[in-house]
Amino acid sequence: MTIDILAFLLSVIVFWLIIIFIIDRRQFRVHHDIIDKQLNEQSITIENLHDFFCKQNEKFSKDLLLEKENAEKETEGIKISIENLYEITLREFTEHTNLIVTTKSELKDSQKGIEVSLREYSKDLVAKSSSDLNGKISSIFAIINQLVAENKELKKKIEFFTEIESDSKQLNTTEKNADRESIIQKALIELSKEINILKPDKNGIDTSGSEIPTESFTKEAEDNDLPLPDGLVRTVNREEFNSDTGTLDEEQKKAFLLMEYSNENIFVTGKAGTGKSLLLEIFGRFSHKKIIKLAPTGIAALNIGGATLHSTFGYYNLENLNLDDIAQSTIRLKPEKKLVLQNTELIIIDEISMVRADIFDKIDIILRMVNNNDSLFGGKQIIIFGDLFQLPPIAKPQERNYLIDRYGGIHFFHSKAYVNGNFRFIELTTNHRQKDDYQFFDVLNRIRNGKTLDTDIDLLNSRFVANRDVLRRVVTLFPKKAQAEKVNRDELEKIDAREYTYLAKIQLNKRSNQTPSLDNIFPISNNLKLKRGALVMLTANDIDKRWVNGTLAIINSLEEDKVEISLDGRNYIVYPQDFSEKEIIYKNGRLEYEDVLVVNQYPIILAYAITIHKSQGMTYKKVACNLENCFETGQAYVALSRCSSLDGLFMLNKVTMSIARVDNDVKEFYLNQTNSQIT
C-alpha cells in the first residue's frame, strides 16, 4: 500500500512537473516565436540563437522522456532516488528557467544592439548613398553642361553652313548688286541722245554723209567756254543735261564733254565715291580718240583694263635712269613701244596720287624724245584721275629726301611737267557711295581735309567692336599685307570643313627669263585655299554680268574641279579664267593691248581681310577697319570711305585724332587751286 501511495505521489509529482514544464514550454514557445520573428526581421544572429534554443529544448525533452521511461521500468529504484530525482529535476528546471530568462535578456540586449547597429548602419548607408548620389548628380550636371556647350557649338556649325544663302544677301551694296555693264550701257545711250555726238570725217561730214553746220556748236562752245576741236561738227542740246534722271550726274557729263572735245590737259579729282572710276570707264568706251589707259600698279591697271606705267615707258627708264640722263641715246624702249607713244592722242593715268614727281617728269621727257617734239608731253593730251587725299606715292627714305631737295615734295604736282602743263582742275563733288548717310559723309570729308572734330572721333569709336568673332562674314581692312594674310589663314582654319587647294596655271609668259610673283601682279592667289562657308571676293567682272570685280560672296560647295558660290541668295558656279598682264602695241594703225603674261585661276580670293591699298575703289555694305598701324597719310580715310554707311562700319580698335593725318603739301595744293572747274 505504501508503495502504491509512493508510486501515486511520484506519478503526481512527475505529472505536475510535466504540466509545469509544458506550461513553461508553451510560454517559452510564445516568447521564442516572437524572438524568432524579430530575429528573422533583424539579423542572422537571432536565427542562430533560436536554433540553439530549439536544440537545447529538444535535448531537455528527450531527457525527460528518458527519465519517464526509466521511472516506469525501474519503479523500485524510484523510491531510493526520488529525492535526488526531484532535486535534479528542480535544479534542471531552475537552470532552464534561468536559461530562458537569460535568453530573453540577451535577446532584448541583442535587439537593442541590433536596432542601434541598424540605425548606425542605416545612417552610414544613407550618408554613403547621399555622397554617391551627389557625385552622380555632379557628373550628370557636368555631362549636361558639356552637352549644352557641344549643342551650342553644333548649333553654330549648323547655322554657319545653313545660313550661307541668307548671309550672302547681306554682303554687297545696291550699287554692287546692280549690273555695272547695264549702267555703263545706259550712260552711253544717254550721252548719245543728249549731246548727239557724231564722229565726222575731215571734211565735216558725219557717218551718214550729211553735212552738219558748225555754227550751232560754235555758239554753244562760246556760250559755255568750251573749246571746239578742229574738224568737229556737232550739235549739242544743253537743256537736256539733268543729273537727277540720268546715270551720270551733271558734273560727270560736263567733265566728259571737256575730256572728249578739248585738247586740254585735265586733272579729274574728287572725294571717294564721287564716280571717278565710272567716268573713266565710260569715257574709255565712248571716246573716239586714240587712248591708252595707264596706272602705277599692276592691279590698278587691271581694274581699268589698261597697262602699267613701267611696262609702257620702260622699267629701266623710270626706275634706273636718272632724270638728267634721259636722252635719245639712253632711253631703252622697244620699237613697238615707241610706236604706241607716237600714235596715241590721249594718255590717261589713273591713281595719280601714287605717282612721284620724278616719274611724272620722266614721262614728259620720254614722250618728247619718242615723238621728236619738244612740246610738253610730246604734244600728247594727258588726263589724270585720282584723289590726292588718298594713298600717296611709295618712296624709300633716300628717295623721299632726294625728291624734297629737288622738287620740294614727292607728289606729281611738284613736277615741272605738271606745273607747266596748264592742267584743268575738275573736282567731282556729288556723293554716290554714302548718299543715304549724310552724317557719315560729312565725317569722312572732315577726315579727308584734316578738319576732324572730337565728335567725329567719338562717332567712329561708338562703332568699336571688342570681339572680331561676331564679324564672321565681314571684310576687314588692314594697313599691312601680313596682317590681312594672317586673319585670312586664321578664319579659314576655324571652319570645320574639308580644305581644297586650287593652283594657278601660267598659260603664257613672254618674259621667260623671269619668275613672276602672281599674287603681286594679279588679284588672285597662286595657291588658292578654300572651304565651304568661307567669305570670298570675286576679282573679275563676270562675262554674264552676275558680279563685278570686288563683289563679296560665300563658298557654297567645293569639288576638286568645281567652285560654287552663294551670291545675293542665289548659287552660281565659278570657273577659272585667264588673267593677263598687258602691254600696249601699235598694230595696223590701231593701239592694241597685247598679253605678255597670262595666268589661269579662279577669280576668287579670301575676303576676311584685305589691305587698304587693295580696297581702293571698292564699296562695301559692311566693313571692319583696323587702323592701328596706318603708316601713310590718307590710309585711314581710304579705309573708312569704303563703307556705304555708318551702320555698316565696325572699328576693331579705338581711334584718335592721329588717323586724320593729312599731307600738308596735298592740303595746300587743293587750297591753291583756282576755281577752274566747269560751271
Tell me the three state secondary structure of residue 584.
strand
Helix (H) or strand (E) segment spanning residue 563: strand 562-567
Residues 504 and 598 in one domain: yes
The answer to whether residue 203 sits within a structural domain is: no
Domain that holds residue 133: 2-160
pLDDT band at 178 (very low <50, low <70, confident <90, very high): very low
Give 611's strand partners: 478
- Cα distance from N-terminal residue to C-terminal residue, the chain: 172
Is the residue at 185 inside a domain? no
Q: Is the pLDDT of residue 290 over 70?
A: yes
Is there a single domain that holds both residue 647 and residue 607?
yes
CA–CA distances in Å: residue 459 to residues 126, 373, 646? 64, 55, 9
Last residue of a domain, one of 399, 432, 465: 432
Q: Give the pairing type, strands 577-587 and 499-503.
A: unpaired
Does residue 250 register a pLDDT over 70?
yes
Give the pLDDT of residue 209: 34
Query: Domain boundary residue among 160, 183, 208?
Result: 160
Q: Are residues 504 and 583 in the same domain?
A: yes
* 34/122 same-domain check: yes
Q: Which residues pair with 587 in a beta bridge?
A: 590
Q: What does the alpha-carbon distance between residue 369 and residue 346 come to, in Å, rounded to a whole number?
A: 17
pLDDT tens per residue, range 369-396: 999 999 999 999 999 998 888 888 888 7
Per-residue pLDDT at 239 exceeds 50: no
Asked if residue 199 is part of any domain, the answer here is no
Are 477 and 619 part of one and the same domain?
yes
What is residue 167's predicted lDDT score, i.e. its pLDDT? 80
Identify whether 181 is part of a domain: no
> Could you tell me how many residues make up the chain?
679
Beta bridge mates, 383: 266, 348
Domain's final residue, options 410, 432, 454: 432
Question: Is 389 within 8 Å of 449 (Cβ atoms)?
Answer: yes
DSSP letter for each residue of 50-95: HHHHHHHHHHHHHHHHHHHHHHHHTHHHHHHHHHHHHHHHHHHHHH
Same-domain status, 428 and 451:
no
What is the C-alpha separation between 480 and 627, in angstroms, rounded?
10
Does the pLDDT value for residue 240 go beyond 60? no
**0.95 exceeded by the pTM?**
no
Between these two residues, 26 and 648, which has the higher pLDDT value? 648
Q: Is residue 231 part of a domain?
A: no
Contact 467, 651 (CB under 8 A): no
Q: Is 264 exposed, middle or buried (0-12, 13-18, 19+ CB in 10 A)?
A: middle
Residues 416 and 443 in one domain: no
Q: Band of the pLDDT at 220, cuts 50, 70, 90?
A: very low
Hey, what's the cell of 530? 578654300
Is 317 within 8 Å of 352 (Cβ atoms)?
no
pLDDT of 117 reads: 66
Phi/psi class of residue 454: alpha, beta or left (left: φ > 0; alpha: ψ in -120 to 50)?
alpha
Residue 183 confidence (pLDDT)? 73
Asked whether the beta carbons of 291 and 591 are under 8 A apart, the reply is: yes
Tens digits of residue pLDDT in 118-151 = 667 667 766 776 777 677 777 777 777 776 666 6
- Regarding predicted confidence, which is higher, 48 or 352? 352
Smallest Cα–Cα separation from 542: which of 237, 182, 235, 240? 182
- Least confident range from 8-22, 68-82, 233-247: namely 233-247
Number of structural domains found in the chain: 3
Q: Which of 307, 302, 286, 282 is nearest to 549 (CA)?
A: 302
The per-residue pLDDT for 503 is 92
Does some domain include residue 300? yes
Neighbours of 120 (CB within 10 A): 10
Residue 201: inside a domain, yes or no?
A: no
Q: Are residues 346 and 267 in the same domain?
A: yes
532 and 420 in a single domain? The answer is no
In a domain, 197, yes or no: no
Strands of 623-625's sheet in order across: 609-611, 475-478, 623-625, 649-651
Residue 181's alpha-carbon distances to 238, 257, 513, 546, in angstroms, are: 26, 21, 38, 10
pLDDT reported for residue 202: 36
Cell numbers at 540, concatenated: 573679275
Q: Which of 268, 259, 270, 221 is nearest to 346 (CA)?
A: 259
Choose between 36 and 227: higher pLDDT: 36
**Contact, 328 vs 366, CB < 8 A?**
no
pLDDT at 252: 86
The verdict on 120 and 264 lying in the same domain is no
CATH value at residue 284 = 3.40.50.300
Q: Which residues contact 642 (CB under 8 A, 6 or more apart)?
A: 272, 477, 615, 618, 619, 620, 623
- Distances in Å between the Cα of 549 and the Cα atoms of 304, 520, 552, 570 are 11, 17, 9, 18
Cα distance between residue 380 and residue 263, in whole Å: 9
Residues 514 and 615 in one domain: yes
Residues 513, 661: one domain?
yes
Which stretches of 526-620 are DSSP H helices?
A: 612-615
- Average model confidence (pLDDT) across the chain: 77
Q: Is 618 helix (H, G, I), strand (E, B) or coil?
A: coil
Q: Is the Cα torsion angle 644, 645, 650, 654 positive or negative in sign?
A: positive
Task: Return the amino acid letter for 660.
Answer: A
Across 586-609, average pLDDT: 83
Q: Please, which pLDDT band fits residue 212 given cuts at 50, 70 and 90?
A: very low
Pair 661, 633: CB distance under 8 Å = yes
Gyration radius (Cα) of the chain, Å: 52
